[in-house]
């Protein structure tokens, strides 16, 4: 194949049309829930199909590539648009948002500096302002990153630089008292990982106990803070989780925020999962107090129905946006200081080259509005509630707690939850997860699909009974 053929617009047009037809078919089949959610294969066995020799010469034509996609690759994936896909918090992407990712891929706007992606930069800034406005912030700043884990790291780096009261970025962590973070025992592991990356050690995250509903216990938070002060620790951030990963519980943001503001503590709200409740007229009140935070993380590829990855890091004080990476790179940045570099995203993010992630969010807000996107949240929350009601009234099932979001944890009294889950996943009837809470294993479903129906839920309980 010639170099000109490799970049042929005609070939792109032809294969592109074929690809969209193929994906539209795939989407339709999945939405109808016709096939298995997952065609489970043991990874060691499955890997044998992916041990081909390195192709020094072409081994596929565009047509046979399309065949491989249709016959081998798409059928071996997890069907995220399937109504019985109840496992992870991963969005079933809005198809129009997926098209935006194709635009991002072909145009490859590197975005490290404004001139490498002018429209991409300005669209991202627009979207960040919209998300901040939903929190109730004016004049805030932020950045889009590749995922919530990196977003949490970014906020903690900023909190450290502001709250350590010394230039940790330059001097390192050894030049002062120990730096600690207070977070609920259910906080996402990415926070401990961030503490590890930052050189604080994973044990720098002091775990605060939760109440029976899985929410941070505020009196335990206050006690932990007071103990840290007596120990001479420097608390760089309190992390509240809005929609914690195991149970979906929401920490009491209002109370935590009031305490943190009074004590001059940095409050970070990890809303990777639950910040999208701000889109819903019905549920936004559950996040009352989120506006008291200094920083918020909000994943687009969860309840905003975006293709992964896209996460927003939002800072109430716009200057804090530049605190995470207080670094110079003169070959990229020509300004005097970070603040002059508002339009050069590299100053504010771990990534140098980064994907044009704002387009898909901008398109979704523009095409469906806050109300349209909020309707998705309302629908899946209602389905989660319906499942919880069924679990409460069906003999032999035990519901862990009334769901606060779209995550429902439960178990069947006669069985081993792990074995039940495995049977369901291997059968391809459902995808669901499990969670270990205080040494006990519970089944965990995350309702992400607005088309998951009453009969899908009945079928789930039936299949669990059979498996048990
Ligand atoms: C509360 C919470 N924070 C952070 C993350 C990490 O986000 P990501 O998977 O986008 O890196 C998750 C992911 O499940 C989460 O549930």
Q: Is residue 190 within 6 Å of ligand 1 at its C-beta?
A: yes
Q: Which residue owns the Cα nearest ligand 1 atom 8? A: 148
Whole-angstrom Cα distance, residue 5 to residue 18?
18
Query: Measured from the CA of 149, which atom of ligand 1 is nearest?
Result: 11
* Residue 26: half-sphere exposure toward Cβ, Cα within 13 Å: 22
Return d(Cα 100, Cα 315) in angstroms, integer: 26
Please tell me the distance between residue 148's alpha carbon and the centre of ligand 1 in angstroms: 5
pLDDT at 347: 86
Report the separation in Å between the CA atom of 272 and the middle of ligand 1, taken as the mean of its atom positions. 6
CA distance 424 to 272: 28
Report yes or no: 289 and 255 within 8 Å, Cβ to Cβ: yes
Centre of ligand 1 to C-alpha 9, Å, is 38
From the CB of 148, is ligand 1 less than 6 Å away? yes
Domain spans of the chain, in order of start: 102-364
What's the pTM value of the predicted model, to 2 decimals?
A: 0.96
pLDDT at 19: 98
User: Residue 326 Cα, ligand 1 centroid: separation in angstroms?
Assistant: 25
- Tracing tokens 């495995």 back to the chain, one arrives at 422
Q: Is 241 in the pocket of ligand 1 (CB under 6 A)?
A: yes
Atom number of ligand 1 nearest to Cα 187: 1
**How far does the centroid of ligand 1 lie from the alpha carbon of residue 449, in Å?**
18
For the Cβ of 89 lying below 6 angstroms from any atom of ligand 1, the answer is yes
188 CA → ligand 1 middle, Å: 7
Quote the Cα angle for 65-66-71, to 5°.
Answer: 100
pLDDT at res. 328: 60
Burial level of 62, CB count in 10 A (0-12/13-18/19+)? middle
* Distance (Å, whole) CA 9 – CA 29: 30
Per-residue pLDDT, 336 = 55
Q: Are strands 397-399 and 234-241 parallel, antiparallel or unpaired?
A: unpaired
Q: How far apart are CA 337 and CA 340, in angstroms?
A: 5
* CATH architecture of the domain with range 102-364: 3-Layer(aba) Sandwich (3.40)
* Burial of 284: CB neighbours in 10 Å, binned 0-12, 13-18, 19+: middle
Does residue 444 line the site of ligand 1, with CB under 6 A? no
**Ligand 1, atom 5: nearest CA belongs to which residue?**
148
pLDDT of residue 333: 53
Residue 145 near residue 351, CB atoms below 8 Å:
yes
CA distance 165 to 168: 8
Of the residues 146, 148, 253, 301, which should be mutated to test ligand 1's pocket, given the most ligand atoms within 8 Å of the CB?
A: 148
- Of 298, 253, 244, nearest to 407 by C-alpha is 244
CB-CB contact of 375 with 352 (8 Å): no
Q: Residue for token digits 């103990």?
A: 227
Sheet containing strand 295-299, strands side by side? 141-145, 311-315, 295-299, 267-270, 234-241, 179-184, 205-208
User: Kindly report the CA angle at 320 between 316 and 324, in degrees rounded to 5?
Assistant: 130
Residue 401, SS3 per DSSP: coil
Q: Output the six-digit token pair for 90.
A: 């991963």
- Looking at ligand 1, which residue's alpha carbon is closest to its atom 16? 245
Residue by residue, DSSP assigns 376-389 as HHHHHHHHHHHHHH
Atom of ligand 1 nearest to the CA of 244: 1
Question: With contact defined as beta carbons under 8 Å apart, do 162 and 317 qualify?
Answer: no
Q: What's the 214 CA to ligand 1 centre distance in angstroms?
A: 17
Distance between Cα 149 and ligand 1 center (Å): 6
Give dist(CA 168, CA 397) in Å, integer.
51
pLDDT along the chain (468 residues), means of 10: 97 98 98 95 95 96 97 97 98 98 97 94 98 97 98 97 91 92 98 98 98 97 98 97 98 98 98 98 98 98 98 96 77 56 89 96 98 98 98 98 98 94 98 96 98 98 97
Residue 273 alpha carbon to ligand 1 centre in Å:
7
């Amino acid at each position: 194949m010639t170099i000109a053929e490799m970049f042929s617009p005609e070939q792109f047009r032809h294969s592109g049309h074929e690809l969209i037809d193929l994906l539209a078919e795939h989407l339709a089949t999945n939405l109808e829930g016709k096939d298995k959610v997952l065609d489970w294969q043991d990874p060691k066995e499955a890997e044998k199909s992916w041990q081909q020799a390195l192709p020094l010469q072409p081994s596929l034509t565009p047509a046979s590539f399309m065949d491989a996609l249709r016959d081998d690759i798409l059928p071996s994936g997890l069907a995220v648009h399937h109504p019985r896909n109840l496992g992870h918090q991963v969005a079933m992407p809005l198809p129009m948002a997926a098209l935006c990712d194709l635009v991002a891929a072909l145009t490859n706007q590197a975005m490290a500096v404004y001139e490498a992606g002018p429209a991409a930069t300005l669209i991202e800034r627009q979207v960040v302002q919209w998300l901040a406005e939903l929190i109730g912030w004016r004049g805030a700043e932020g950045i889009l990153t590749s995922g919530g884990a990196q977003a949490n790291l970014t906020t903690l780096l900023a909190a450290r630089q502001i709250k350590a009261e010394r230039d940790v970025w330059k001097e390192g962590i050894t030049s002062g008292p120990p730096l600690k973070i207070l977070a609920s025992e259910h906080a996402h592991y990415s926070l401990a990982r961030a503490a590890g990356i930052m050189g604080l050690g994973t044990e720098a995250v002091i775990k605060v106990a939760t109440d029976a509903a899985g929410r941070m216990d505020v009196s335990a938070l206050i006690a932990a803070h007071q103990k840290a002060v007596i120990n001479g620790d420097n608390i760089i951030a309190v992390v509240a989780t809005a929609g914690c990963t195991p149970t979906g519980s929401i920490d009491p943001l209002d109370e935590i925020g009031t305490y943190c503001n009074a004590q001059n503590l940095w409050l970070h709200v990890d809303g990777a999962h639950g910040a999208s409740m701000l889109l819903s007229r019905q549920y936004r009140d559950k996040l009352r107090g989120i506006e008291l935070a200094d920083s918020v993380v909000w994943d687009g590829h969860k309840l905003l129905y975006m293709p992964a990855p896209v996460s927003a890091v939002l800072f109430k004080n716009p200057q804090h946006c530049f605190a995470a990476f207080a670094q110079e790179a003169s070959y990229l940045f020509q300004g005097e200081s970070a603040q002059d570099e508002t339009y050069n995203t590299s100053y504010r993010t771990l990534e140098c080259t980064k994907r044009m992630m704002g387009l898909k969010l901008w398109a979704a807000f523009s095409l469906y509005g806050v109300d349209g996107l909020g309707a998705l949240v309302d629908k899946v929350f209602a389905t989660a509630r319906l499942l919880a009601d069924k679990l409460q009234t069906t003999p032999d099932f035990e519901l862990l707690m009334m769901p606060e979001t779209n995550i429902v944890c439960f178990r069947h009294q006669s069985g081993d939850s792990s074995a039940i889950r495995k049977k369901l996943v291997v059968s391809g009837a459902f995808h669901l997860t499990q969670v270990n809470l205080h040494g006990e294993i519970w089944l965990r479903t995350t309702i992400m699909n607005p088309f998951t129906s009453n009969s899908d839920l009945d079928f789930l309980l039936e299949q669990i009974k059979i498996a048990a």
